[in-house]
Amino acid sequence: MTETPLTPSTLRLGWEEWVSMEELGLPAIKAKVDTGARTSALHAVRIEPFGTEAKPQVRFIMHPDPEDPTVEVVCSARVVDRRNVTSSNGGQELRYIIETNVTLGTKTWAVEISLTNRETMGYRMLLGRSAIQDDMSVRPTESFLQPQLDYSVYKKRRKSAVRQRPLRIGILTQSKNNYSNKRMIEAAEARGHTVETIYTSRCYMAINAHKPEVHYNGKPLPRYDAIIPRIGASITFYGMAVVRQFEAMGVYVLNRADAIGKSRDKLLAHQLLGSHGLGMPVTAFAKSSRDNKGILDLVGGSPVIVKLLESTQGRGVVLAETRNTASAIIDAFRGLDAHFLVQEFVKEAGGSDIRCFVVNGKVVGAMMRTAKAGDFRSNVHQGGSVAKVKLTKEERRSAIRAAKILKLDVAGVDVLRSDSGPKILEVNSSPGLQGIETATGKDIAGTIIECIENKVPTILRVGGK
């Protein structure tokens, strides 16, 4: 290498220096500066390509601290090339080449880096001569001419501050092309992420302690940074098992299986919300038909709502105007071995309910749904209409608390406006986006993707908290 004339702005580098690569979520790495090698190299394991041909990306795991292999950083970057690189032992290896900004001392510049397993090497990174700029000068006999960093930063920011890396996101769904999925894919791609749709019912898995995997079309699925479960009511049981498997693989899931299960079981959800003092219509249930009178008395007599526990889109919700009708409906449901609950009819809601869309502990949109004339059910599937609504403080608070109690990152909390304050009807763990985005004009899909960006952990700690 020809010697560059030294100027006051020349960056002097020793043969070993500390670098940081914030885009990769790597705030501190000890690198070997080696002008004998052309291409820079970074330690990477479990390298998995993803994205499209036009925009190829790669996801990999990096152990920055050679002394502590339990610190794992999940990195992803755009692939700029695949090249045969000669390694230090003389062998050729076809490697992914990424480009990322490297900061060393006062300078930050873009460097092409090849990814390879450097587990057995002394340094997790090698800075080759193609990375050395004209305003840098390497002193091969000296080390650490630039400020030294420390691996302890990884322990301090375990949950990571890095949010910009491209994420590989999977949507678990049974219907690829619905409005909600299309919008979330659009919003994620606009932010540089890659989204793959996975049919929930086509996932299969072996359950074992050592290597949990989800298989699909004859192959194990890759490692996703995040899974968005859109589990319809008809597939709750199987869908929860698939979601749990992703959880076992250490993938961040937006709404965990346990939370989905709690919200789906209307009885359990009511019990949980009730035990936290949240307002809801007085609700009763009984096993024996001898207790029909008892449960009707508990909810204050007629009129009452009788609701199938599995009801969705208002299909199993009946208004019984008189005690006799109520008893007849209850007997009919019992005869069919159906699970149901009996509920006070909140008349003053006037056929309207409010859908509060909660993302990451905040109400990000609210709409009022109003039943068509002659119906008391406001479900859009029953012909109801939607309009933007301004929430009261109490309604907002109740919705946020309901999502929190059920531990849902994303929730559609349905609330009735009653004379005695908001009454929670149900909490939906896969709320649709069409109504709420239309009514509010807001980019709710974008807000969901932002929530994922904030929650996906980048720095993992293997085998412990």
Residue 417 binds ligand ADP (CB under 6 A): no
**Interface stretch with ligand ADP, choices 111-119, 289-297, 360-368, 373-381 (CB under 6 A):** 373-381
Residue 412 binds ligand ADP (CB under 6 A): no
Residue 320 binds ligand ADP (CB under 6 A): no
One of 414, 437, 443, 453 touching ligand ADP (CB under 6 A):
414
Residue 398 binds ligand ADP (CB under 6 A): no
Contact, 26 vs 38, CB < 8 A?
A: no
Rounded to 5, what percent of the chain is helix, strand, coil? 25, 35, 40
Residue 425 binds ligand ADP (CB under 6 A): yes
Q: Which residues pair with 76 in a beta bridge?
A: 59
Alpha-carbon torsion angle 153, 156, 158, 164, nearest 10: -60
DSSP assignment of 317-350: EEEE-SHHHHHHHHHHHHHTT--EEEEE--GGGT
One of 116, 231, 376, 435 touching ligand ADP (CB under 6 A):
376
Q: How far is CA 147 from the centre of its chain?
A: 37
Binding mask 226-265 for ligand ADP (x = CB under 6 A): ----------------------------------------
Dig out the tokens for 196 from the structure.
């793959």
**Interface stretch with ligand ADP, choices 10-18, 56-64, 193-201, 376-384 (CB under 6 A):** 376-384
Residue 302 CB, nearest approach to ligand ADP (Å): 13
Residues 6+ apart with CB under 8 A from 186: 445
Of 77 and 305, CB closest to ligand ADP: 305
Residue 405 binds ligand ADP (CB under 6 A): no
One of 313, 322, 324, 454 touching ligand ADP (CB under 6 A):
313
Dig out the tokens for 310 from the structure.
């599995």
One of 127, 187, 286, 305 touching ligand ADP (CB under 6 A):
305
In the DSSP assignment, the letter for residue 174 is S
Residue 314 CB, nearest approach to ligand ADP (Å): 4
Dig out the tokens for 371 from the structure.
């039943």
Q: What are phi and psi of 212, to 5 degrees?
A: -65, 135
Contact, 69 vs 162, CB < 8 A?
A: no
Residues interacting with ligand ADP, by CB under 6 A?
281, 305, 307, 311-317, 343-346, 349, 353, 376-379, 414, 416, 425-426
